[in-house]
A and B are shown apart, each in its own frame.
Chain A
Amino acid sequence: MEVTLETQVESVNVAEEMCLRVAESAGFGEDDCYRIGMSVREGVINAFHYGNQERPDKKIHLAVDLTPEKMIIRVLDEGKGFDLSQVPDPLAQENLLSTSGRGIFLMRAFMDEFDVVPGRTGGAEIIMSKRLPTGNSSSTNNQDGQDAAPPQRA
């Protein structure tokens, strides 16, 4: 599944709902769906606010892939990109009362894999994934433990 979203608040809910449908159909339980939904929200909020600077002429690109082992979510903005290592630690004492800056932390906490890379549009692309529930992944692995099939668009 791949969609282009407007840079507007409503896109956050749209993205969350879309990814939750995919997560539920992939067999994730309630807690994991909550974590995935929250991470998608935070990724799109990041693109909306920090990446695209809330500019309506810019777009947010959301892609969801299901491999035999995991659900992969990509959120791409059309901003200037950012260096993950420069993001302040929201748990540092001096940042505890900050009114923003917890989105990256939450995505890292809630997903199994998380990274930010330069995007094809010049912005930042958040790539995060969650391993599928055990029952799903064990039934789709081949004998080498490698993916049995290439990623499929959800």
Chain B
Amino acid sequence: MDLRATYRDAGVVTVVDIGGRITLGEGSALLRKTIRELLDDGRTKIVINLADVNYIDSSGIGELVTAFTTVKNRGGNLKLLHLTKKVHDLLQLTKLFTVFDVYSDENSAVGSFL
């Protein structure tokens, strides 16, 4: 399944709803493009909702890290929401669970920016 991404406002926070596979190629490119659009629009408080992402490969992991560091470098923050089991396990395996702020509840994720 190809990646799809839409975003919506939750107060001063932008929630990006992603679905599909974040893998080498179009999936990773779409995530990069979406984050770039948000930053260009001045949105630096970002929650990525991964509820419908059931597959990420190493390129996808790299793209998430790129998104995280790019947003941080712009003075903002990027947090993750609703990890599926596979994505959760992959982030634990790669020790990125200790890097990202991860939430299982959207209100908590959004509220953490306030």
Contacts and interface: CB of A to CB of B under 8 A. Distances in A.
Contacts of A98: 62, 65
6 contacts: A9-B25, A45-B24, A45-B58, A97-B65, A100-B62, A105-B94
Contacts of B93: 106, 109
Interface in A10-56: 10, 12, 34, 38, 41-42, 45
A100 B86 contact: no
Interface of B: 23-25, 57-59, 61-63, 65-66, 68-69, 86, 93-96, 98-99
Nearest to A102: B58
Given A9-B24, A96-B99, A38 B57 contact: yes
Interface in A91-149: 91, 96-100, 102-103, 105-106, 109
B65 A99 contact: yes
A9 B63 CA distance: 16
A106 B58 contact: yes
Contact of A91 (B57, B69, B94): B94
A90 B61 CA distance: 12
Contacts of B86: 34
A148 to B, nearest CB: 35
Contact of B23 (A41, A90, A109): A41
Given A42-B58, A91-B94, A99-B65, 17 more contacts: A9-B24, A12-B23, A12-B24, A41-B23, A41-B57, A42-B57, A45-B59, A96-B95, A96-B99, A98-B62, A98-B65, A99-B69, A100-B62, A102-B58, A102-B61, A102-B94, A106-B58
Nearest to B93: A109
Interface centre among B59, B68, B94, B99 (most CB of A within 10 A): B59
Contacts of B65: 97-99
B57 A97 contact: no
B101 to A, nearest CB: 14
Nearest to B54: A34
Contacts of B24: 9, 12, 41, 45
A116 to B, nearest CB: 16
